[in-house]
Chain A
Amino acid sequence: RKEVEQDPGPFNVPEGATVAFNCTYSNSASQSFFWYRQDCRKEPKLLMSVYSSGNEDGRFTAQLNRASQYISLLIRDSKLSDSATYLCVTLTDSWGKLQFGAGTQVVVTP
Protein backbone atom coordinates (compact mmCIF):
# COMPACT_ATOMS: atom_id res chain seq x y z
CA ARG A 1 0.00 0.00 0.00
CA LYS A 2 1.31 3.45 -0.89
CA GLU A 3 2.09 5.70 2.03
CA VAL A 4 0.31 8.66 0.48
CA GLU A 5 -2.64 8.14 -1.86
CA GLN A 6 -4.36 10.61 -4.10
CA ASP A 7 -7.07 10.53 -6.73
CA PRO A 8 -5.11 11.11 -9.93
CA GLY A 9 -7.97 12.99 -11.59
CA PRO A 10 -8.09 14.86 -13.83
CA PHE A 11 -10.54 17.21 -12.21
CA ASN A 12 -11.94 19.36 -14.99
CA VAL A 13 -13.08 22.64 -13.46
CA PRO A 14 -14.76 25.58 -15.18
CA GLU A 15 -12.99 28.86 -14.59
CA GLY A 16 -14.39 30.53 -11.48
CA ALA A 17 -15.68 27.30 -9.96
CA THR A 18 -14.56 25.58 -6.77
CA VAL A 19 -12.74 22.27 -6.67
CA ALA A 20 -11.73 20.16 -3.72
CA PHE A 21 -9.85 16.91 -3.37
CA ASN A 22 -8.38 14.77 -0.65
CA CYS A 23 -5.31 12.79 0.10
CA THR A 24 -4.97 9.93 2.56
CA TYR A 25 -1.83 8.90 4.39
CA SER A 26 -1.08 5.62 6.10
CA ASN A 27 1.67 6.56 8.52
CA SER A 28 0.10 7.76 11.75
CA ALA A 29 3.51 9.09 12.80
CA SER A 30 3.44 11.70 10.05
CA GLN A 31 4.30 15.02 11.63
CA SER A 32 3.73 17.64 8.99
CA PHE A 33 1.70 17.95 5.86
CA PHE A 34 1.98 20.03 2.75
CA TRP A 35 0.53 20.67 -0.64
CA TYR A 36 3.00 21.11 -3.47
CA ARG A 37 2.17 22.16 -6.98
CA GLN A 38 3.90 20.63 -9.97
CA ASP A 39 3.52 21.94 -13.50
CA CYS A 40 4.15 19.61 -16.39
CA ARG A 41 7.81 18.61 -16.63
CA LYS A 42 8.79 21.02 -13.89
CA GLU A 43 9.99 20.68 -10.34
CA PRO A 44 7.47 20.72 -7.45
CA LYS A 45 6.95 23.97 -5.60
CA LEU A 46 5.49 24.43 -2.16
CA LEU A 47 1.92 25.69 -2.30
CA MET A 48 1.11 25.68 1.39
CA SER A 49 1.62 23.89 4.65
CA VAL A 50 -1.37 22.25 6.30
CA TYR A 51 -2.00 23.06 9.93
CA SER A 52 -4.05 21.06 12.41
CA SER A 53 -6.72 23.72 12.69
CA GLY A 54 -6.96 24.19 8.94
CA ASN A 55 -5.59 27.18 7.13
CA GLU A 56 -6.29 29.42 4.22
CA ASP A 57 -4.01 31.17 1.78
CA GLY A 58 -5.96 33.36 -0.58
CA ARG A 59 -8.17 31.13 -2.69
CA PHE A 60 -6.66 27.97 -1.26
CA THR A 61 -7.91 26.24 1.88
CA ALA A 62 -6.25 23.22 3.43
CA GLN A 63 -7.67 20.94 6.10
CA LEU A 64 -6.17 18.15 8.15
CA ASN A 65 -8.07 15.28 9.73
CA ARG A 66 -5.67 13.29 11.86
CA ALA A 67 -8.30 10.86 13.11
CA SER A 68 -9.14 9.75 9.60
CA GLN A 69 -5.64 10.43 8.29
CA TYR A 70 -6.46 12.65 5.38
CA ILE A 71 -5.81 16.16 4.22
CA SER A 72 -7.76 18.19 1.74
CA LEU A 73 -7.24 21.11 -0.58
CA LEU A 74 -9.98 23.41 -1.79
CA ILE A 75 -9.49 25.94 -4.55
CA ARG A 76 -12.07 28.71 -4.87
CA ASP A 77 -12.65 30.92 -7.88
CA SER A 78 -10.41 28.73 -10.03
CA LYS A 79 -8.10 30.46 -12.48
CA LEU A 80 -6.69 29.04 -15.68
CA SER A 81 -3.27 29.30 -14.06
CA ASP A 82 -4.36 26.87 -11.35
CA SER A 83 -4.12 24.04 -13.88
CA ALA A 84 -1.41 21.79 -12.50
CA THR A 85 -0.82 18.62 -10.57
CA TYR A 86 -1.20 19.01 -6.83
CA LEU A 87 1.02 16.78 -4.74
CA CYS A 88 0.12 15.77 -1.23
CA VAL A 89 3.24 15.49 0.90
CA THR A 90 3.89 14.23 4.41
CA LEU A 91 6.94 14.56 6.60
CA THR A 92 7.66 11.83 9.11
CA ASP A 93 11.00 12.91 10.49
CA SER A 94 12.89 16.10 11.08
CA TRP A 95 15.61 15.30 8.57
CA GLY A 96 13.56 16.08 5.55
CA LYS A 97 12.39 12.77 4.15
CA LEU A 98 9.17 13.65 2.46
CA GLN A 99 6.62 11.15 1.17
CA PHE A 100 4.90 12.29 -1.99
CA GLY A 101 1.55 11.30 -3.36
CA ALA A 102 1.33 10.71 -7.09
CA GLY A 103 -0.62 13.92 -7.48
CA THR A 104 -4.08 15.08 -8.44
CA GLN A 105 -4.34 16.75 -11.82
CA VAL A 106 -6.54 19.81 -12.04
CA VAL A 107 -7.51 21.27 -15.40
CA VAL A 108 -9.26 24.62 -15.33
CA THR A 109 -11.17 25.34 -18.52
CA PRO A 110 -12.38 28.69 -19.90
Chain B
Amino acid sequence: GAVVSQHPSWVICKSGTSVKIECRSLDFQATTMFWYRQFPKQSLMLMATSNEGSKATYEQGVEKDKFLINHASLTLSTLTVTSAHPEDSSFYICSARVLAGESTGELFFGEGSRLTVL
Protein backbone atom coordinates (compact mmCIF):
# COMPACT_ATOMS: atom_id res chain seq x y z
CA GLY B 1 0.00 0.00 0.00
CA ALA B 2 0.88 3.64 -0.14
CA VAL B 3 3.61 4.77 2.19
CA VAL B 4 3.91 8.02 4.04
CA SER B 5 7.19 8.80 5.72
CA GLN B 6 7.57 11.30 8.52
CA HIS B 7 10.78 12.74 9.92
CA PRO B 8 12.05 13.13 12.57
CA SER B 9 10.50 10.42 14.75
CA TRP B 10 11.69 12.06 17.92
CA VAL B 11 12.80 15.57 18.64
CA ILE B 12 13.73 17.32 21.83
CA CYS B 13 14.22 21.04 21.75
CA LYS B 14 14.60 24.00 24.04
CA SER B 15 11.73 26.34 24.69
CA GLY B 16 11.65 29.17 22.19
CA THR B 17 13.21 27.29 19.31
CA SER B 18 11.48 26.21 16.12
CA VAL B 19 11.10 22.64 14.93
CA LYS B 20 10.34 21.43 11.41
CA ILE B 21 8.63 18.11 10.75
CA GLU B 22 8.56 16.63 7.27
CA CYS B 23 5.91 14.40 5.76
CA ARG B 24 6.59 12.68 2.46
CA SER B 25 4.45 10.49 0.30
CA LEU B 26 6.90 7.92 -1.04
CA ASP B 27 5.10 6.19 -3.85
CA PHE B 28 2.22 8.45 -4.73
CA GLN B 29 1.41 12.10 -5.20
CA ALA B 30 -0.64 13.68 -2.48
CA THR B 31 -2.44 16.91 -3.29
CA THR B 32 -3.85 16.95 0.22
CA MET B 33 -2.14 16.05 3.46
CA PHE B 34 -3.49 16.34 6.98
CA TRP B 35 -1.68 17.21 10.16
CA TYR B 36 -2.91 15.80 13.46
CA ARG B 37 -1.80 16.22 17.03
CA GLN B 38 -2.37 13.66 19.74
CA PHE B 39 -1.88 14.23 23.45
CA PRO B 40 -1.53 11.18 25.74
CA LYS B 41 -4.73 9.15 26.04
CA GLN B 42 -6.59 11.58 23.81
CA SER B 43 -7.89 11.35 20.28
CA LEU B 44 -6.10 12.58 17.22
CA MET B 45 -7.08 16.17 16.66
CA LEU B 46 -6.93 17.56 13.16
CA MET B 47 -4.80 20.68 13.13
CA ALA B 48 -4.84 21.63 9.49
CA THR B 49 -5.35 20.47 5.95
CA SER B 50 -2.35 21.05 3.74
CA ASN B 51 -3.04 21.71 0.08
CA GLU B 52 -0.30 21.56 -2.52
CA GLY B 53 0.35 24.96 -4.01
CA SER B 54 -2.01 26.87 -1.78
CA LYS B 55 -2.44 27.96 1.81
CA ALA B 56 -3.28 25.42 4.45
CA THR B 57 -6.70 25.34 6.03
CA TYR B 58 -6.46 25.48 9.81
CA GLU B 59 -8.96 24.09 12.26
CA GLN B 60 -10.56 26.36 14.79
CA GLY B 61 -8.26 27.13 17.67
CA VAL B 62 -5.03 26.29 15.83
CA GLU B 63 -2.71 29.25 15.44
CA LYS B 64 -1.57 29.46 11.84
CA ASP B 65 1.36 31.70 12.73
CA LYS B 66 2.61 29.22 15.27
CA PHE B 67 2.14 26.08 13.20
CA LEU B 68 3.46 26.92 9.76
CA ILE B 69 2.54 24.51 7.03
CA ASN B 70 4.15 24.37 3.65
CA HIS B 71 3.09 21.99 0.90
CA ALA B 72 5.41 22.99 -1.89
CA SER B 73 5.32 19.77 -3.86
CA LEU B 74 3.03 16.82 -4.42
CA THR B 75 5.16 14.61 -2.22
CA LEU B 76 6.19 16.85 0.66
CA SER B 77 4.42 18.80 3.35
CA THR B 78 6.20 20.37 6.31
CA LEU B 79 4.95 21.51 9.67
CA THR B 80 7.07 24.03 11.56
CA VAL B 81 6.30 24.60 15.21
CA THR B 82 7.61 28.10 15.82
CA SER B 83 8.81 29.32 19.20
CA ALA B 84 7.95 26.00 20.76
CA HIS B 85 6.88 25.85 24.38
CA PRO B 86 6.44 22.87 26.73
CA GLU B 87 2.69 22.82 26.10
CA ASP B 88 3.45 22.10 22.43
CA SER B 89 4.97 18.77 23.44
CA SER B 90 2.85 16.18 21.69
CA PHE B 91 2.72 13.47 19.06
CA TYR B 92 2.33 15.03 15.62
CA ILE B 93 1.12 12.81 12.80
CA CYS B 94 0.65 13.55 9.14
CA SER B 95 -1.53 11.65 6.76
CA ALA B 96 -2.32 11.64 3.09
CA ARG B 97 -4.71 10.08 0.66
CA VAL B 98 -3.93 8.99 -2.84
CA LEU B 99 -6.69 10.87 -4.60
CA ALA B 100 -8.06 14.24 -3.52
CA GLY B 101 -11.74 14.04 -2.85
CA GLU B 102 -11.72 10.27 -2.68
CA SER B 103 -14.56 9.27 -0.46
CA THR B 104 -12.87 6.49 1.43
CA GLY B 105 -11.51 6.44 4.90
CA GLU B 106 -8.13 4.95 4.33
CA LEU B 107 -5.71 7.64 5.04
CA PHE B 108 -2.09 6.61 5.06
CA PHE B 109 -0.36 7.87 8.14
CA GLY B 110 3.22 8.81 8.73
CA GLU B 111 4.99 7.18 11.64
CA GLY B 112 4.48 10.25 13.77
CA SER B 113 6.88 12.71 15.37
CA ARG B 114 7.13 12.94 19.12
CA LEU B 115 8.06 16.46 20.15
CA THR B 116 9.32 17.23 23.62
CA VAL B 117 9.95 20.86 24.46
CA LEU B 118 12.10 21.44 27.53
Contacts and interface: CB of A to CB of B under 8 A. Distances in A.
A95 B105 contact: no
Interface residues of B, number: 26
Contacts, number: 63
B43 A98 contact: no
Interface string A26-49: 000001111000000111111001
A102 B41 contact: yes
- Looking at chain B's contact residues, the main secondary structure is loop
Contacts of A45: 109
A4 to B, nearest CB: 7
A101 B112 CA distance: 18
A: interface residue count bin: 20 to 34
Given A42-B111, A43-B109, A95-B100, 18 more contacts: A32-B105, A42-B112, A43-B112, A44-B44, A46-B107, A49-B104, A87-B43, A89-B105, A91-B105, A94-B103, A96-B32, A96-B34, A96-B49, A96-B102, A97-B34, A100-B45, A101-B43, A102-B42
Interface of B: 32, 34, 36, 41-46, 49, 91, 93, 97, 100-107, 109-112, 114
